[in-house]
A and B are shown apart, each in its own frame.
Chain A
Amino acid sequence: AQSVSQHNHHVILSEAASLELGCNYSYGGTVNLFWYVQYPGQHLQLLLKYFSGDPLVKGIKGFEAEFIKSKFSFNLRKPSVQWSDTAEYFCAVNAPQAGRRALTFGSGTRLQVQP
C-alpha cells in the first residue's frame, strides 16, 4: 500500500533560520505530490504541488519543494522562516493512473518558530 513518511515530528526554529522538512513516499509509479499547511485554528490549505516537469516547485509564502525521483522524496524548504510560519505541515501523495485517486497524507510535522 502507498505510504508517506515525515520523519520530523516536531521542529523548533528561530526566526530567519532555514527550513527543510523531509517527506518520503513508497509508491514507485507516477505520482502527484503535495504539501498542505494547517495554521493554528484554521483549516488545511495547499502550499504547493508537483505533477510533472521542473522538479523544483515554488509555492505560496516563499516555500518551495524539490522532487527527487530516485530518492522517492519531496522535501519542503524555506530559506528564512517567520514567526507566522508556525503551523503543522503535511506531505501528501496520490497516484491516479494506478487507481489511487485519493490523497495519502503523512503524519505531519509541527513547526514552531520562535521570535
Chain B
Amino acid sequence: DVKVTQSSRYLVKRTGEKVFLECVQDMDHENMFWYRQDPGLGLRLIYFSYDVKMKEKGDIPEGYSVSREKKERFSLILESASTNQTSMYLCASRGGSGEKLFFGSGTQLSVL
C-alpha cells in the first residue's frame, strides 16, 4: 500500500522561526498536497504540486511556501511562523486526478 510519511508527529516552534515540514511518498505519485486541518473548518488546501518543481497555490497560501525538488518529497515552509499557524498539517499524494488521496499521519504544529 502507498505510504506517505511526514517527518514529525508533533512540533513546537516559537513565533518568527522558520519551520520546515517534510513529506515523502513511496508510490511515484505525480501529485502531492499540503492541507491544514482545524476544528470546524475541515481541511483547507495550502499548496499542491503536480510535478517536480511545479506548484500551485491553494486556498490559503499566505505565509507558506513549498519546495518539490524530487518527485517523492514535498516540503512545506513557514518563513516566519505565527501563532495563527498553529494547526494540524496533512500531506497527501495521488496519482491521476480521479484517484484517491493517500494521507500522512499529520504534523501537529504549535507556534508559541
Contact = CB atoms under 8 A, between A and B. Distances in A.
Interface of A: 1, 4, 6, 9, 32, 34, 36, 43-46, 49, 51, 90, 92, 94, 96, 101-108
B44 interface: yes
A107 B42 CA distance: 4
A68 to B, nearest CB: 21
Given A102-B58, A105-B43, A107-B40, A43 B105 contact: yes
A102 B90 contact: no
Nearest to B48: A102
B42 A106 contact: yes
A9 B42 contact: no
B89 interface: no
Interface of B: 31, 33, 35, 40-45, 48, 50, 56, 58-59, 90, 92, 97-98, 100-101, 103-106
A102 B45 contact: yes
B41 A107 contact: yes
A74 to B, nearest CB: 15
Nearest to B39: A108
A108 B33 CA distance: 19
Q: Among the interface residues B33, B43, B44, which one has the most CB atoms of the partner chain A within 10 A? A: B43
Given A43-B106, A44-B90, A32 B97 contact: yes
A12 to B, nearest CB: 17
Given A45-B103, A102-B33, A102-B58, A51 B98 contact: yes
A94 B99 CA distance: 11
Contacts of A34: 100
B39 to A, nearest CB: 9
Nearest to A101: B97
A44 B97 contact: no
Given A105-B42, A107-B40, A108-B42, A44 B101 contact: yes
B95 to A, nearest CB: 12
Contacts of A106: 42
Contacts of A46: 100-101
A101 B98 contact: no
